[in-house]
């Protein structure tokens, strides 16, 4: 599962054009900024905590896929993803990821479908919505169509399907 998460992070970094030097520079900058901050450590940790409460929650997207996600106190994400479309419909696939403040990322290795998908996005409060961009990489030799990209909006399963209106509103107000 760790290799799936690493692949997802590498895939996301590669697709947005980060070079190895840029990633190293950003990491060094973040460490430097943390060293010079005057806020107490407990305050920094509270500010960075996941905006999804620790525990297990169930989410659905506009295509009917279901994500059962557990977030622990340190922001580690685990659980299962059941796609509502394409290969593997209804099959529970392991999900791993991380959450930090309003940011979240998770990935799934679609066993039997020869693909892996990584999502990265933000958590919007009131109502709680997870808006993501995703990249699906085929486990076949590279070709012009080996990587597919898109967007998903996840809402708590208890708000499904009425809460989907918030997803539609979010998509219609994006800058074009």
As given in the structure block, the two tokens for residue 67 are 């994500």
Q: What is the pLDDT, as a whole number, of residue 160?
A: 85
Q: What is the pLDDT, as a whole number, of residue 171?
A: 52
Q: Return the domain boundaries, the chain.
A: 2-172
Q: What is the mean pLDDT of each run of 10 residues along the chain (176 residues)?
A: 42 37 42 45 57 95 95 96 95 97 97 96 91 95 92 92 74 45
Q: What is the pLDDT, as a whole number, of residue 46?
A: 43
CB 135 within 8 A of CB 116: no
Q: What is the pLDDT, as a whole number, of residue 48?
A: 62
59 closest CA partner among 142, 140, 129, 136: 129
Q: What is the pLDDT, as a whole number, of residue 167?
A: 82
CA distance 86 to 97: 22
118 closest CA partner among 100, 95, 102: 95
CATH topology of domain 2-172: Lipocalin (2.40.128)
């Amino acid at each position: 599962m760790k290799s799936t998460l690493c692949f997802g992070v590498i895939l996301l970094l590669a697709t947005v054009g980060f070079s190895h030097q840029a990633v190293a520079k950003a990491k060094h900058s973040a460490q430097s900024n943390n060293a010079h901050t005057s806020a107490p450590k407990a305050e920094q940790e509270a500010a960075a905590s996941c905006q999804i409460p620790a525990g297990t929650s169930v989410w659905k997207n506009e295509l009917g896929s279901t994500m059962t996600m557990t977030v622990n106190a340190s922001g580690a994400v685990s659980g299962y993803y059941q796609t509502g479309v394409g290969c593997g419909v209804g099959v529970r696939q392991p999900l791993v990821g991380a959450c930090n403040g309003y940011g979240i990322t998770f990935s799934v290795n679609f066993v039997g479908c020869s693909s892996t998908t990584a999502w990265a996005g933000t958590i919007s409060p009131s109502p709680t919505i997870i808006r993501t961009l995703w990249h699906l990489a085929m486990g076949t030799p590279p070709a012009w169509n080996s990587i597919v990209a898109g967007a998903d909006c996840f809402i708590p399963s208890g708000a499904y399907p009425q809460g989907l209106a918030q997803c539609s509103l979010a998509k219609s107000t994006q800058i074009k």
